[in-house]
Amino acid sequence: MSESDEHGPASDRPSALEVFLAWPLAAASHIAQTNIRLFETFLPPANPRPSRQLIFPWASPNTISLELGTMSLRNFSTRNDGRATLICAPYALHGATIADFATGHSVVEKLGQCGLSRLFLTEWRSATADMRYFTIDNYLADLNVAVDELVPPVDLIGLCQGGWLALVYAARFPNKVRRLVLVGAPVDIAAAKSSLSNFAADVPLGSFHELVRLGKGIVHGQQMLGLWGISHGPNEADATLQAGEAIEPPEREALVERFRQWHAETVDLPGSFFLQVVEWLFKDNRIAEGRFVALGQTVDLSKLTAPIYLLAGSDDEVVAVDQLFAAARLVGTRGEHVVKMIETCGHLSLFLGTEVLGRAWPDVAGFLLRDFNEPQAIAERKDAPAVGGRSIRKSIG
C-alpha cells in the first residue's frame, strides 16, 4: 500500500484558496461551463497599466544578486562560502513570498536556522505585455543562468509549481544539481487524481486559449481573483498557518491580516507559458511519459541520479501524494538515496504551517547537509511516530 493510500486519497472538495494558489484553472473551468461570449462582457477588464512591482514585504533580510528577464535572484545568505541552496519558487497566482511569508512561517528562515548559510530564491516576475510569448524554455534558461551564477552543482528545492520546473531542470542538467528537494509538486498527473488535475482534464484546451485571448496574451491574476470571488475567513488562515491557540489575539489578528494581504497580491502569467503548462504537464503528462522537451532536448528522468527528497501533504487537494511520489520510480536515483515524507496537512501548510516547518523542514535541511557516504545517512526508520497529535510517515527508497 502506498503512503497516499494509507492516508486516503486527495479530497475532491478543495478549499478555494488552495486551488487558486496552485493555478488559475478553476476560473477556466467556470468559463468552460458558461457561454464564453458572456464572459467577454462580464469579466473585469484587464489592468491596462504595466504590472507594478510586488510590494508584499519579505520576512527575512535579503538582497538581489541578479536581475534576469524572468526573475530576480534573491540572496538570503548569511555567509559567502559553502555550497549554494537555490529555492525554485512557484510561478502561479501568487509571488515568491510564499517561501518567506512571516517570522515563524518561512521556509527561508527555517533552513537558515538549520545551518544552510548560502540561500537563494527565484522571484519570478509578474508578466507584462512584452512577456506574453515567454515559454517554459525562457524560465529554464534563466534558471540555468542563476545556477551558473551560484557555481554548480547546487542543491535545488522546488516548491509546488516550481517543483516540476526544478525536476525538469535537474534532468536536463544533471551535473549541475547535487541534491533535489520537491515539495507539493505535480510530476505524474496520471498517478492519482487531484482537484487541479481534474480541472485541467475536464476543461477543453480551447477554453484555456480563449482565457488567454481575453487577457490579450496574459493570464491576469487580479481578474482571476475577481472572477472566482473568493472570501477568506480567519479560520482558513489559522488552519493553513497552524498558529495554534497559544498565540496571543493581537498577534493572531496581525498574522491573519498579513495572510489576507499576501493573498490579494497576485502575479500575471505569460499566456504562452500558461498554455504550455496546461497542455504539456496537465493534459499530456509529458514529464512522466518521457516526452517533455526542455531547451531542445527530450528530458530523460532516468539520467537524474542525485539524491532526492519528496515532501507531500496527506490532505493536499491540489497535488495528490502519488502525483509527487511517482518521481521516485521515474528518476535514476538509487533507492537508498530517495526520501519520501508525508505530513498530515493541506497544500499551503507545506510552506506556511508552523508545525510542518518545525518538523519536516529541519529534516530537509539535514538531508542537504548530511554525508551520504556515512552509514547512518541511510539507516532511517521506515515510520516516524506521531508528533503533537499529527501523524507523519517517512520512508527511504
The C-alpha cell at 189 is: 498527473
Which residues does the chain have with pLDDT short of 70?
Answer: 1-53, 224-235, 374-392, 397
First-to-last alpha carbon distance for the chain, in angstroms, is 14
In the prediction, which pLDDT does 224 show? 66
Q: How does 329-366 read in b/e, with b if 16+ C-beta sit within 10 Å?
A: ebbebeeebbbbbbbbbbbbbbbbbbbbbebbbebbbe
Contact 64, 121 (CB under 8 A): no
Parallel, antiparallel or unpaired: strands 218-219 and 269-270: antiparallel
| CA pair distance 376, 393, nearest whole angstrom | 19
The dihedral through the CA atoms of 220, 222, 227, 231 has a sign that is positive
Q: What is the pLDDT of residues 261-300, one digit of tens each?
A: 998 899 999 999 999 999 999 999 999 999 999 999 999 9
CATH at residue 153: 3.40.50.1820
Instruction: In whole angstroms, give the CA distance from residue 183 to residue 174.
Output: 19
Instruction: Tell whether omega for the bond before 152 is within 30 degrees of 0, i.e. cis.
Output: no
| pLDDT at residue 384, as a whole number | 39
State the residue for C-alpha cell 515568491: 96
Residue 282 is part of which domain span? 3-396
* Amino acid letter, 242: Q
Joined together, the cell numbers standing for residue 331 give 528518476
Grid cell for residue 8: 486516503
The number of distinct structural domains making up the chain is 1
CA–CA–CA angle 186, 192, 193 (5° rounding): 90
pLDDT attached to residue 53? 61
CA distances from 155 to 11, 295, 327 (A): 32, 21, 17
Res 392: pLDDT: 57
The pLDDT score that the predictor gives to residue 234 is 54
What's the DSSP call for residue 277?
Answer: I
DSSP 8-state symbol, 185: -
Instruction: Specify the DSSP class assigned to residue 24.
Output: T
Q: CA-to-CA distance for 390 and 239, rounded, in angstroms?
A: 13
Annotate 154-166 with b (16+ C-beta within 10 A) or e (fewer).
bbbbbbbbbbbbb
- Write down the pLDDT at residue 201: 84
* Each residue's pLDDT tens digit, 42-92: 354 544 344 456 789 999 999 999 999 999 999 999 999 999 999 999 998
- Determine the length of the chain: 397
pTM for this prediction? 0.86
The pairing of beta strand 154-159 with beta strand 85-88:
parallel
**Which cell is 107 given?**
521556509
DSSP bridge partners of 354: none
